């Protein structure tokens, strides 16, 4: 069975996992700023192909140095969603990948929310087209901002909560 390395390079972290058929293996997480070809080659045996979504163009050559040619996610690919957006090349590869995953697994219309360095909200129309969205500061940015801009809110370290409801 074909082994596909899936790589998501975001501003803070790079996530990567091997997919075989419909199964995705363990997700490895690396600091994007310190990602190297050596680390990738040490972590993964050479896959049959690499699919890459990156919002950090300077890091694309790192993945190429590790594994050769890659398939870059972008509006030029048939991702199973249409694009009804004024400038398709301005849509982040991460946002297109999220839209494609949502359409494939849950259908449309839909709103996809991704909590990362930024929080993104992306809209899929009833026709299955990516029509745009919103980018907002991520949780880390907001906690730092609220601490520095308010008198009483402490600086907190983000961690997995025991409960969704804060107390």
**d(Cα 15, Cα 120) in Å, to the nearest integer?**
17
Task: Enumerate the active-site residues.
Answer: 94
pTM: 0.88
- Whether the Cβ atoms of residue 136 and residue 118 lie closer than 8 Å to each other: yes
Q: pLDDT tens-digit profile of 3-17?
A: 999 999 999 999 999
- Whether the Cβ atoms of residue 99 and residue 82 lie closer than 8 Å to each other: no
Using alpha carbons, select from 34, 36, 16 the residue that is nearest to residue 26.
16
Which tokens belong to 9? 């390079």
Rg, Å, the chain Cα set = 18
SS3 16: strand
Q: pLDDT tens-digit profile of 125-165?
A: 999 999 999 999 998 888 888 889 999 999 888 887 788 78
Tell me how many degrees the CA angle 65-70-73 measures, rounded to the nearest 5.
130
């Amino acid at each position: 069975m074909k082994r596909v390395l899936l790589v998501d390079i975001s501003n803070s972290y790079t996530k990567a996992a091997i997919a075989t058929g419909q199964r995705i293996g363990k997700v490895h997480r690396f600091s994007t700023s310190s990602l190297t070809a050596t680390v990738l080659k040490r972590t993964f045996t050479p896959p049959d192909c690499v699919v890459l979504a990156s919002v950090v163009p300077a890091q694309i050559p790192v993945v190429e140095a590790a594994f050769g040619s890659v398939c870059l996610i972008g509006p030029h690919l048939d991702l199973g969603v249409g694009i009804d957006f004024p400038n398709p090349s301005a849509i982040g590869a991460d946002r297109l990948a999220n839209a494609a995953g949502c359409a494939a697994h849950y259908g449309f219309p839909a709103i996809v929310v991704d909590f990362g360095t930024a929080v993104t909200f992306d809209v899929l129309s009833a026709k299955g087209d990516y029509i745009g969205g919103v980018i907002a500061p991520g949780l880390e940015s907001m906690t730092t901002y609220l601490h520095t801009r308010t008198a009483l809110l402490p600086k907190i370290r983000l961690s997995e909560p025991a409960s969704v409801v804060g107390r």
